[in-house]
Amino acid sequence: MRKLFSFHGGVHPPTHKDESTRSPIAQAPLPSKLVIPLSQHVGNRAVPIVQVGERVLKGQQIGRPEGKLSSAVHASTSGTVTAIDMQLVAHHSGLPDLCVTIIPDGKDEWITHAGMDLKNTPHSELRKQLRNAGVVGLGGAVFPSDQKTDAHHHQIKTLVINGAECEPYITCDDLLMRERAADILHGAEILRELLHAEEVLIGIEDNKPEAVAAMQFAVEQDKHDKMEVLSIPTMYPSGGAKQLIRILTGIEVAAGVRSTEMGVQCFNVATAYCVWRALAHGEPLLSRIVTVTGNVTDAQNFDVLIGTPLDELVALAGSKPDTDRHIMGGPMMGVDLPAGTVGITKATNCIIESSPKLFPPQAPALPCIRCTRCADVCPAELQPQDLYWFAKSNNFGKTQEFHLFDCIECGACAYVCPSNIPLVQYYRYAKSEIHERERDKKAADLARERHEYRQLRIERDKQEKAEKLAQKEREAAAKAAQAAAAAPVATQNDAQQKLIEEAIARAQTQAAVAHPQNTEALTPEQSAEIAAIEARRAKIREMATDAGADDEPHKQ
């Protein structure tokens, strides 16, 4: 038996998974329309490559990946593009984003597609296919998989496949593992190959014995070597990538560190499945499994086309009339969706129909009594009570000192807080404020650089003028001295000599004055940044010297 590790803290919220695991995955019928956001992944939004009125086929690319970190978007069925515009999307920002609306023609007509020769195709081509097939992390983070399969020359020992599914209510991965275990493992093999990983460890919480059994059976049946399915103790948030890596390998991946640097990479089971479909069958990511549960009559998992309007999906499960909110994700980290019209995206693992009865509003918050129950359950081993205190008092420097950005927003702290303080909201607030300030600072830095550059030019002009002046005076003085040497009258000579000396001294002081330090004008607070500025100035000076005289005279 492999030794499992544990992470600090964690909580045991009621799982509510039974409701949606009673029946198998159902195929959701073709919806009346599809609203497909062009930004369903981390990175740059895909660029629309279809026109309004154009007929598209199932699997046809409608959004082209743009830049290094991006992913393609496809038409989930055949039909006609009726709009490319800003619409509300299923995203935590609650803001509209560019979407392609397609009215299905009911034919569900595929483009020509075929699997790739997995053995003989170079890895770079396979990655390119993942990118063009729109494969992104389906665990919720939606990070483009082509990027994650590139280990950047790091030696990868362990590939972790995440089937933990620790959030209450969500069962889409559970059902996928029960029903499509073999394909998941084929996908895992491809990922192992792409990463050159030695072993594959599949972590599944022990509240999913059927999934564990199905996966173990598939491992044995297809004789997967160095691949282990491990039943891990149920403990939220064991499904966080960092937490699962810790449980299975004992390695702690610190915030801001890529797990590949420590020889591990982690993919969700549904991602592995899509990798297989995309590479072995040439099917882009057009649908995903979505759990519809909560305030519904028939909680169930559906195989849903990306872009299916939320309202049409929840109707399939019998959303009850007193539903007041749709939550995407689980109750711990989920997002309250802005409207029922939004389309299902690649990130939509679960929809919880919510009513005031299901999730009663929190009692009013009391002050923090520093009981540290939050610190006891924090999987990142932070001091949430201190972070709260600093965030509340806008002391953002301190929040960073106390590792605010190590917070994974799992919500365990707020879950146990006896004072009902919405702690995670305070952390989100502090993080967004800090990002905002950093943006402002960058803009200010740019402005300062420009200003410094201008100052530099002005100074240099002054200096050059002073030098020219000094040169002239020197020449004049030399002439005068020659003349004086020739002249016989001593008294006049002396007086002239004195004048010349004075002029030279004046010119010299003038030249010296033309050397003010830019840093003297800075306030003491900025002194810390002087070093950086100096470096930049040196560069600017070089640039200015290289540019020569042609850019300066007329700009004065």
Partner 1 sequence: MLSSPFIAQPSSVSQIMLRVLLALIPGIALYVWYFGPAILVSITLASITALATEAAMLKLRNRPIKPFISDNTALLTAWLLALSIPPLAPWWMVVVGTAFAIAVSKHLYGGLGSNPFNPAMIGYAVLIISFPVHMTHWLTPHALSGVELTFIDQLNYIFNGVLPNNLTLDAITMATALDTMKTQLHLGLSVNDIRDMPIYGRLAGKGSEMVAIGFAIGGLYLLFTRIITWHLPVAYLAALFATSGIFHLVDPQHYVTPLFHWFSGAAMIGAFFILTDPVTSPTTAKGKIIFAVGAGILTYLIRAFGGFPDGMAFATLLMNICVPLIDTYTQPKVFGKKGGGK
Which positions touch partner 1 (CB under 8 A)?
A: 7-8, 11, 13-14, 94, 168, 242, 246, 252-255, 257, 325, 327, 329, 331-336, 338, 354, 359, 362-364, 366-373, 375, 379-383, 385-386, 402-403, 406, 411, 414-420, 422, 424-425, 428
Closest contact distance (angstroms) between CB of 275 and partner 1 is 27
Which of helix, strand or coil describes residue 152?
A: coil
- Cβ-based nearer residue to partner 1, 282 or 340: 340
Closest contact distance (angstroms) between CB of 409 and partner 1 is 8
- Cβ-based nearer residue to partner 1, 381 or 440: 381
Closest contact distance (angstroms) between CB of 279 and partner 1 is 32
**DSSP structure string for 341-371:** TPBP-TT--EEEEE-TTTSPPPPPPPPP---
DSSP character at residue 366: P
Residue identified by tokens 């599949």 is 202
- Cβ-based nearer residue to partner 1, 176 or 410: 410
- Cβ-based nearer residue to partner 1, 347 or 375: 375
In whole angstroms, what is the distance from residue 19 CA to residue 509 CA? 88
Burial letters 277-302, b for 16+ CB under 10 A, else e: bbbbebbbbbbbbbbbbbbbeebbbb
- Cβ-based nearer residue to partner 1, 320 or 460: 320
CA-based end-to-end distance of the chain: 78
| Contact (CB, 8 A) for 59 and 75 | yes
- Cβ-based nearer residue to partner 1, 141 or 514: 141
- Cβ-based nearer residue to partner 1, 14 or 122: 14
**What values do phi and psi take at 503, rounded to 5?**
-60, -40
Axis crossing angle, helix 123-132 with helix 172-195, rounded to the nearest 10:
150
Residues 6+ apart with CB under 8 A from 538: none
Closest contact distance (angstroms) between CB of 383 and partner 1 is 6
Closest contact distance (angstroms) between CB of 444 and partner 1 is 30
Give which of 233, 257, 304 is closest to 77, Cα–Cα. Answer: 304
**CB neighbourhood size of 428 (10 A):** 15
| Contact (CB, 8 A) for 343 and 375 | no
**Two tokens at 532?**
């950086």
**Two tokens at 50?**
């279809």
**What values do phi and psi take at 158, rounded to 5?**
-120, 130
Closest contact distance (angstroms) between CB of 509 and partner 1 is 53
Closest contact distance (angstroms) between CB of 96 and partner 1 is 14
**Two tokens at 111?**
């483009």
Closest contact distance (angstroms) between CB of 197 and partner 1 is 21
Query: Distance of alpha carbon 62 from its chain centroid, rounded?
Result: 23
Closest contact distance (angstroms) between CB of 385 and partner 1 is 6
- Cβ-based nearer residue to partner 1, 302 or 415: 415
- Cβ-based nearer residue to partner 1, 296 or 368: 368
